[in-house]
Structure 1
Amino acid sequence: MNSYIYTEKFSDKNEVSLLDVFIAADEMELMKICQQVKKRLIGTKSAWKFPRDFITICKHDTFADLQR
């Protein structure tokens, strides 16, 4: 996320879960990051770490779009 602050480009090439980034961005109200990560999570099923990610999504009302 540090590079996003300077470049407004998000890279998910490290070992951090995209869902963890989405949760952090949501908590800090970084809507641009939330939107980018949500698009990647919806479009890239391989980015999911089942069942952990699905359980986390079900616990948060904010992530209703991802439950579908």
Structure 2
Amino acid sequence: MARMERDDLIKREPDPRDKRSSLVSLTQAALARLPAGRAFCARAIRDMTKGLSREEVDTLVSLLDNVEALEA
């Protein structure tokens, strides 16, 4: 997080309700980079699943959702 703060991607502010914590938010510079990041992720997902049928992709997504729920 220190690097992201140094690169002006996030800002930290003290949490007024809990002085031990910080509230973290994205800066305008980070928000401006979101569309490119989303496009990169979409291309990566397409590349990783290009050999799968729609049904196989749906199954994969369902399985990953189950794994994510187990971690919660």
- TM-score, normalised on structure 2? 0.28
Structure with the higher fraction of residues in strand conformation = 2
Higher relative contact order (CA 8 A, sep 6+): 1
Bigger Cα Rg: 2
Structure with the higher fraction of residues in helix conformation = 1
- TM-score, normalised on structure 1? 0.29
